[in-house]
Amino acid sequence: MEKYHEIWLEEERKSIEGWDFSVLDGRWESEAIPWDYQAEIQKRLKPTDRLLDLGTGGGEFLLTLNHPYELTCVTEGYPPNLEICKNKLEPLGITVKGVDESNHLDYPDAFFDLVIDRHEAYDLSEVKRVLKPGGVFITQQVGGRNNEELSRWFIPDFVSEYADFDGQSQKTVFIETGFRIEMYQEASLRLKFFDVGTVVFYAKNIPWEFPGFTVDVYLPRLDALQALMDEQGYIQSMEYRFIIVARKV
C-alpha cells in the first residue's frame, strides 16, 4: 500500500478553482440528474430580467447563460472564490457581493426577476425579499445525507449537521414563506470513483461531508478503501439532489 501514500498526499495538496471539479473528469462517474437545471433557467429567463446567482463559485456556470452583464449580479461566500469573482466578473460589468453565514443579501427589496442557486445555502426570507412580486427562485440542492455512506467509511458515527435538509421539508418551508411551487423533483444518484486519489481530492475539498479529513489521520481507512478498489474496480457512493422552482406570490 505504501506506493499509494505519496500519491494520496499529492491529491490532498490540490485544490479546486471556483467550483470546478472538471479536473476529475475520467476519474469518476455520476449518474445523470433527471432534469436540466440550465434549461429550467433559460426557459424562464428573459433578456430584460435582472438576474441574481447565489454562490456563483468562480462564475463558471453563470457565464454559460450569456445574460446581459449589466443585468447580472452574484453572491459568493468563500473568500478565495470571491476574489476570483472580483477579478473575473466585475471587469465584465457583473455586480459581485460577498455573503456571510447569515446569508443576508446585500441587494435592495424587490430588485430581481429571477434568483438562481445551485448547491448554495440560502435564507428563503431573504430570497423572497429581493425578488420582485411574481419573481422566480430556481434552486438545485444537495441533500443533507449526500455521500453519507462514504463519510461513514472514515467517520463511523458521522451525522451531517444538514441531515434534515431535504426536498420534502424544503417544499413545506417554501409554501410557508409565501412561494408557489411550480416544479419539484428529487433523485438519488450513484457516484463511482475509479481511484482512491479521487476520493482523497474530493474529501479534502468537501469538508462538511468529511470534517477533519487528512491522509495521515485516515491512512488505515484509505488502505482498506484501496483493497476494496483493487477487488471491484471502483468505489461507489450515493448522491442526493433536488430541484425546486417557485414563484413569489
For the record, the C-alpha cell of 120 comes out as: 448554495
The HSE-up count of residue 25 (CA atoms within 13 Å, CB side) is 3
Tell me the C-alpha distance between 66 and 90, whole Å.
15
* pLDDT, position 244: 99
For the record, the C-alpha cell of 236 comes out as: 461507489
Tell me the C-alpha distance between 117 and 125, whole Å.
15
DSSP state of 14: -
Q: Over the stretch 210-239, which tens digit does the pLDDT of each residue have?
A: 999 999 999 999 999 999 999 999 999 999
Residues 6+ apart with CB under 8 A from 224: none
Tell me the C-alpha distance between 89 and 86, whole Å.
6
Average pLDDT of 101-129? Answer: 97
For the record, the C-alpha cell of 89 comes out as: 466578473
Q: Are 33 and 40 in contact (CB under 8 A)?
A: no
* pLDDT, position 173: 97
Tell me the C-alpha distance between 189 and 197, whole Å.
21
For the record, the C-alpha cell of 229 comes out as: 478498489
Q: Are 81 and 74 in contact (CB under 8 A)?
A: no
Q: Over the stretch 43-62, which tens digit does the pLDDT of each residue have?
A: 999 999 999 999 999 999 99
Tell me the C-alpha distance between 69 and 95, whole Å.
8
Give the range of the structural domain holding residue 149, as residue numbers without chain letter.
2-248
Total number of domains constituting the chain: 1
Q: Over the stretch 76-93, which tens digit does the pLDDT of each residue have?
A: 998 989 999 999 999 999
CATH number for position 167: 3.40.50.150
DSSP state of 86: H
Q: Over the stretch 145-159, which tens digit does the pLDDT of each residue have?
A: 999 999 999 999 999
Whether residue 129 has pLDDT greater than 70: yes
Max distance between CA atoms of the chain, in angstroms, equals: 61
Q: Over the stretch 164-207, which tens digit does the pLDDT of each residue have?
A: 999 999 999 999 999 999 999 999 999 999 999 999 999 999 99
The better pLDDT of the pair 32, 2 is held by: 32
Question: Left if phi > 0, otherwise alpha if psi is -120 to 50, otherwise beta: which for 66?
Answer: left
* pLDDT, position 65: 98
